[in-house]
Amino acid sequence: MITRRSTIGLLAAAGALPALAACGPNASDGSGGGEDGGGDSVRIYWWGGDLRNSLTREALDLFTASHEDVTVSPEYSEWTGYWDKLATQFAGGDAPDVLQMDEAYIDSYGTRSSLLDLETVSDLLDLSDMDEAVLDTGRLADGTLVGAPLGIGIFSIGVNPTLLEQAGVAMPEDTTWTWDEFAALSTQVSDWATEAGEDVVGFDFFGTSAAELGAWARQSGQQLFPREDETLISKDTIVAYLEYALALVESGAVVGPSEQVEDFAAGVEQGRFGNNRAAFHLQFHTQVQTFQKASGSPLELLRLPARTSGDHQMVNKASMYWSIAAGTGSTDAAATLIDFLLRDPEAAKVLKIERGVTSFPELQTEIESVLDENEMVSLDFAREMQAEVVRPPLVTPAAGVGFGDELSRLGEESLFGTRPPADVADEILTVLEGMQPEL
């Protein structure tokens, strides 16, 4: 899924995307499958770390054990190299049959006819029981379904209750809290740490993330990439976001901009939240497992603070997708494999929620028996939020792939005081206006 830690590969990948224009439905994928779509071999490519790699391969072993007529060739890489390699493969007519796709790129690939319409293989890939609102995040603007969501991620607040207790700060009531209240609580933790001589801060970093600004926009009745019935984020909303980030620094709720940049670059294990040196952290909710493991602390999840009390505008984001290359010669095998990875109970027990909480309710019950206490934090939070989530935003359009990087650069200019928030907001809005899709 997209976070502040994953924006590094966006510009490089965006530069490679024009090569995809020549990779339409008739491109060869080099997979060796049959031309009639009934091939018995399938290449699958995904990004991730060692844990995802091992779990995926274990699930693929289950598949081949029950589908002896299908040969599976697995490939994987880290996020930063994934998109360059994928673009090269498509451009060279050697795309994998099944590929892991992200919200930031699905429109870029899908609108270039590089991904198969999954509803053409609905007899083999049954997504009818998936929540419709989640499934629709895999559709292009014209309604074509090019991505099968693996699960959901919900942008939320991670909290370290041990640090709050040490600071004498009560666990907030997240059904009513606002960003102002959140700032005050974060400042209380930082003030306690200063007095106690502890290297702890209330909140680790804020002010340069597209996910943050997207949530801020939703809570203002606006969107970064609005549909026809929605409103583009305004300059005033952007200014308010940037000024809030500066106020956090001034109050001591967060560290200074240089330390924020360093913390962002440090990664989970060395960063403040993953190292028990920050009480609060913004993340997509299943990421809390990684922080739990790194910190060894019983971390919890809370709703986002709201601009207006009670109006949190929580949304389900597709954590990532499985897609099929439009030019595959192994259509049936590819569809059968995705169906297995998404819907088979035993596969679900292997994969658990590492890629997000499954969007098939019956499988959520199936995997409870294999989830530990930390993993149940994510599952329980996702279940609780389903009663209040609102319509998810439009997926990032092809023209908007680089917005995360632009916002990071401009947000840092505001944080460091290089330019006033109003000037930075003007440029952010200009960038966004130039990235809007043609609806």
> What does the pLDDT look like over 350-380, one tens digit per residue?
999 988 899 888 899 999 999 999 899 999 9
- Burial environment of residue 168 by CB neighbours within 10 A (0 to 12, 13 to 18, 19 or more): exposed
Is 425 a residue whose pLDDT tops 50? yes
Q: How confident is the model at residue 22 (pLDDT cuts 50, 70, 90)?
A: very low
351, 61 contact by CB (below 8 A)? no
For tokens 């009818």, the residue is 128
129: DSSP letter: T
- Burial environment of residue 66 by CB neighbours within 10 A (0 to 12, 13 to 18, 19 or more): exposed
104 φ/ψ angles, rounded to the nearest 5 degrees: -75, -15
Handedness of CA 214, 219, 225, 227 (dihedral sign): positive
Q: How confident is the model at residue 233 (pLDDT cuts 50, 70, 90)?
A: very high
Least confident of 30-34, 181-185, 225-229, 363-367: 30-34
Residue 392 and residue 394: Cα distance in Å, rounded?
Answer: 7
Domains of the chain: 4-151+318-378 (3.40.190.10), 155-316+396-435 (3.40.190.10)
Q: Report the predicted TM-score, pTM, of the whole model to 2 decimal places.
A: 0.84
